[in-house]
Amino acid sequence: MRKLLDLHAIRAQTKDAGYGRSGAADVATARNGLIDYARFAAALGIVWFDSQAPGNRIAYVALPFFLVLLSMPTATRTSQRARRLLQPFVVWSLVFAVVQIALALKVSAPPFSWWEWHMLLTGTWIHLWILPFAFLASVLAPWFQHPLASFGAAILVATLLVLEGSPETVPFGQWSFGVIPVLVGIAFFSWGWRLAVIALVASWTILSFGRPSPDNSTILYGTGLALLCLSIHLPATSVSHWCARLSVWIYLAHPLVIIVGQSLRITWVELGLFSLAGSVILAQILDLSQRGSRRQVPELS
């Protein structure tokens, strides 16, 4: 439970979790430092996207990058994963509920005018949707380890998105965006990069011809980047560990920094740069506080 999206290379216990035939799972036995560096960069990409700074659409590839890592095999029990993911979901929802109330009072609106029932699944700030989604992904992933299951499910999801469109209801629209990267990740961890690439390209082709959307390219590039990083191994260092820890806090806390920047009437590129710097500083403060109190932060795996 130490890190959000804490991608360790697959250990021997993953055989007990049902990933015994994975080409990727059988190769790596040590932590991959490249994933830690990439996760830190992806967290900054999420900050840039949410700040709506120029080029934010390019930065959005960070989201499917994160989503691929949700399918990482784990030997932990369901109850442990629930505690690691859903407890922080509740805590940070309370934090942002206070923020929402303060913002409502600032404009003389009723204190709970912001409340929507979908927040039971998304949290009180939209970026928190990834926590319950990660829990569901970890629970359902073992059911899709067969190559026909992961590949077939990815094709089926792409086809349904073409025929029915993306759900407009929150959070199912977000979840529909995340399903294909997760299934491609399952294919990678269970059967190696070849099946993962085939599933990704086939799904993208269906989406591109049947449902033209910028999200199609975002899924392709972000998921492909994740597969590339997973296929290259770098030794872990103290710096990579630091990057991994801070990526947790950057993702969870960055809306607070953006709100402060907007309150100071910072806009455009300046808001993006302010949000990046402020998020890293805030993340470092939270990390030092967490390490001092020995509290744990979520691990999306």
pLDDT in tens, 182-224: 999 999 999 999 999 999 999 999 999 999 999 999 999 999 9
| Cα torsion through 144, 145, 146, 147, rounded to 10 | 90
Alpha-carbon separation of residue 67 from 59, 222, 238, 239, 250 (angstroms): 14, 9, 25, 23, 16
Go through the chain and tell me how many residues it has: 301
State residue 297's pLDDT score.
Answer: 58
Q: Copy the structure tokens of residue 147.
A: 């190559």
Kindly state the percentage of the chain with pLDDT values over 90: 78
> Confidence band (pLDDT; 50, 70, 90) for 291?
confident
Give buried/exposed letters for 155-173 (b at 16+ CB in 10 A, else e). bebbeebeeeebeeebbee
Joined tokens for residue 169:
């209801």
DSSP 32: B
Band (pLDDT 50/70/90 cuts) for residue 76 is confident
Across 31-54, average pLDDT: 95
**pLDDT over 60 at 107, yes or no:** yes
Q: For residue range 126-155, what is the model confidence (pLDDT) as tens digits?
A: 999 999 999 999 999 999 999 999 999 999
d(CA 173, CA 77): 28
Per-residue model confidence as pLDDT tens digits over 218-263: 999 999 999 999 999 999 999 999 999 999 899 999 999 999 999 9
Alpha carbons 5 and 100: distance in angstroms, whole number: 26
Q: Across the chain, which distance is largest between two alpha carbons, in Å? A: 59
Question: Closest Cα partner for 106 from 117, 114, 118, 94?
Answer: 114
Residue 38 has pLDDT above 70, yes or no: yes
pTM: 0.86
Cβ 229 vs Cβ 72: under 8 Å: no
